[in-house]
Every structure is written in structure tokens, then in C-alpha cells.
Amino acid sequence: MSYTEVPGARVPIRMWADPATVEGAAMQQLRNISTLPWLHGLAVMPDVHLGKGATVGSVIAMKGAVCPAAVGVDIGCGMSAVKTSLTARDLPDDLGRLRTKIEQAIPVGRGLHDDPVDPAKLHGFAAAGFERMWAGFDSIAPSVKFRHERALKQMGTLGSGNHMIELCLDTSGSVWLMLHSGSRNIGKELAEHHMEVARSLPHNQGLVDRDLAVFISDTPQMGAYRQDLFWAQEYAKYNRAVMMALYQDVLRREFSRAKVTFDEVISCHHNYVAEERYDGVDLLVTRKGAIRAGSGEYGIIPGSMGTSSFIVRGLGNAASFNSASHGAGRKMSRTAAKKRFTVRDLAEQTRGVECRKDSGVLDEIPGAYKSIEKVMEQQRDLVEIVAQIKQVICIKG
């Protein structure tokens, strides 16, 4: 589908979802965003749903301003995936051992490594950028610097919620590795620090929603936020890179006879800010629950823990600010999902997947998410599908 333009907003709201199917609270959030005087444009992805401050599945392009709550607390959250030389025939009938080995290599939930991961010990890991990222730690917000040791030990860890590690098969039977995570606790604390600062600034006092408080260019507060924001985005990128390297090492050991090899890793943020130019204007583009989908650029759009995911290539649609959805998107809250579904429902909806099937992940049940197939259909003018993959192992925190 092409987009639908919502009338009555100060700045046009372009929606790749049917407005009639979007919850009222989310529509109100979008209208609130459209009142910001710095807003240049607002694109809404088909996985749109209610978020804190800004709507998940929104692309907010602003001139000379950025809203930290629109980025969210998991700065740089995103996906990584890679195709392997393995096929379904190489996998054992019982995937429980492989799942255990992955969980032993990569801490999940609130877990962290006993000692920081040494990048020199990771097969083929590009350590130069990793070291530059850590060199920037001394410049981040002073109130967060005491988290240095924790940030070191959380590098290469998964987290909880909708973060996951999966082993998937594509439609031809090839094995893919995929994972989803972000900047862990250090990103969360940096985000919360700057959101509090933004809410206190005089120019934000008259906003319809204080969670939409912004920083304005050429101010000390904006300078401090941009520094911490881009550092956290790099931390998130390397967090996924370290996890993927650890994951690949597990497969090298477990399938040593097959001499497994890997294609180039695909990686993309979906909660982040980028400096981009549209309509001849330099803008700060915030993608909250959206990926960049520039012409020819690869991305990853996951479903849920029991449905397909998609490797995509961007079509470079400027109307969406070169963006696409970040996943299926929730159709109900975590609380509602726990009330609506049972552990028995979870087991049924994840049949054939080696994964947790207990109350601790009930809020991640596939039934709590929108149809990934419909989401993909609604953004045919944003991306083309390169591969459809389906998990046989799904690890949650």
C-alpha cells in the first residue's frame, strides 16, 4: 500500500497503516507529536502502537531539535542476522543442547559476563572501532560514569523483554543466526538522565505532552545529549557484534565437522537518531521502532517468537524518510497478554520451536503481536523481501 495522510495536523502525518485500525491513544500521540514546532515531517509504519511519549513505529524528522523520549530508553536497540553454510540437515533432532550452549555463551535477562569479553579472542572481530567506542566513555554524563564496570560486563549480553536470540531456517533450508538487543543498562541510564534534563528546560513547559520535551541545536544540553546518544548507539552496535561473534563461535564448536562458514552480518538499529537530508533540509531523524530502508540497504524485520521474520532490502522511499517497520508490532500490552493467554496457549503457538514455554515469557506470546505478513504487505513500497526465515530455536531473557 501507499501511505494515508491524516488530515488536520500542523505537519502531515503519513501512515503506512490503516488509521481506523490504530488504537485511539496511539493516534493521539501522533497528533501530539505533530504539534511540535520543530517538526518537519512524521511517517508512521504499519507496526505502529502506543509508546511512552512517542509512538512505537514512528519516524520523526525535526529541524534543529531532537526528543530523547522519542528515541526511548533502549538507545540503539536493533537487529543482527547472518546466513550460515549449514542447512536443516545438519541440525540435530533435539535442539535442547544447542540452545543450552548458546545460553552459556551469552548471558540473558539481567545477566552479565563474569569478566569483560576480550575482543582479541573473538574470531575475526574488528576491534579498532570497539576500542574507539570505549575511549569515549570518559566523555559521557558524569552521573552515569560509575556504571563503567557494569557496562563492560554487559557488553555482549542479551537483556529481557522482546530481546531474543534465534536460530532460523529460510525457505530453502539454510540456517540463519539472528539476534535483537540494544545498549543495555548504560543506554537506559543515559536516556533517563537526558529526558529529565529536557523536561526541565523553559522552552518545553508549554508542550501538550512533557514527554515530548526536546533539546534544541546549538545549546549545551543538545551538545551533551548528542555526545551520549551517539556513544550509546555505538555501544549497542558493538553489543550485538560481540554477541554475534560469541554465537558464531558456539556453532563453530558444535558443528566442527561441517566447518561452518558465515556470510557478511546484516545489522540495523531501530531505536536511534540519524543526521539526514530531505527536501533540501538537514534534519535529525528519529526512528522509534523503525529501520532505515534507503535504496539497496539491507535490514531485518522480525515477527514474534513463533512466526516468520524477513531479511529486506530498502527501496529508498523518501516519503517515509527512507524507513520501514521494525517488526510485527504489538497489538496488545504485556499486561493484557498475560490476562488473555495461558501457558498452554504459549506452548501451542510456539509448537516446533525450542524455547521457553513458561509464564515468564507469556507477554511475548505470538498472539500479542500483529500479523507480520500483513505488516509486510502494507510496506511493499518501502522494502523488498530478500529472505523469509523461521526460528527453530528462540532464546528469551
Q: How many residues does the chain have?
A: 397
236 to 133, 267, 295: CA distances (angstroms): 10, 11, 24
Residue type, 248: Q
243 is in an annotated binding site: no
In the residue annotation, 123 being an active-site residue is answered as: no
Contacts of 319 (CB under 8 A, 6+ apart): 3, 14, 43
327 is in an annotated binding site: yes
148 is in an annotated binding site: no
32 is in an annotated binding site: no
Phi, psi of 104 (to 5 degrees): -75, -30
302 is in an annotated binding site: yes
Compute the distance between CA of residue 42 and CA of residue 242 in angstroms, rounded to an integer: 34
| Annotated catalytic residue within 40, 49, 193, 326 | 326
138 is in an annotated binding site: no
Residue in 165, 208, 199 with CA at minimum distance from that of residue 309:
165
270 is in an annotated binding site: yes
Contacts of 121 (CB under 8 A, 6+ apart): none
163 is in an annotated binding site: yes
Could you give the count of Cα atoms lying within 13 Å of 183 in the half-sphere of its Cβ?
A: 27
End-to-end C-alpha distance for the chain, whole angstroms: 35
166 is in an annotated binding site: yes
| Count of CB atoms situated within 10 Å of the CB of 305 | 24
20 is in an annotated binding site: no
- Could you list the beta-strand ranges (E) of the chain: 4-6, 13-15, 39-49, 56-62, 65-66, 78-87, 164-170, 174-181, 215-216, 266-269, 271-278, 281-288, 290-292, 298-301, 308-314, 323-325, 354-355, 383-396
Under DSSP, is residue 329 helix (H, G, I), strand (E, B) or coil?
Answer: coil
Residue in 102, 2, 39 with CA at minimum distance from that of residue 320:
2
129 is in an annotated binding site: no
Residue with cell 550485538: 240
Report residue 381 as a C-alpha cell.
513500497
Torsional sign, CA 169, 172, 173, 176: negative
113 is in an annotated binding site: no
269 is in an annotated binding site: no
304 is in an annotated binding site: yes
Is the CB of residue 9 less than 8 Å from the CB of residue 289?
Answer: no
49 is in an annotated binding site: no
> Which residues are part of a known binding site for Mn(2+)?
74, 163, 180, 270
Active site residue ranges: 326
> Which residues are part of a known binding site?
74, 162-166, 180, 270-271, 302-305, 309, 326-329, 396
> Which residues are part of a known binding site for GMP?
162-166, 270-271, 302-305, 309, 326-329, 396
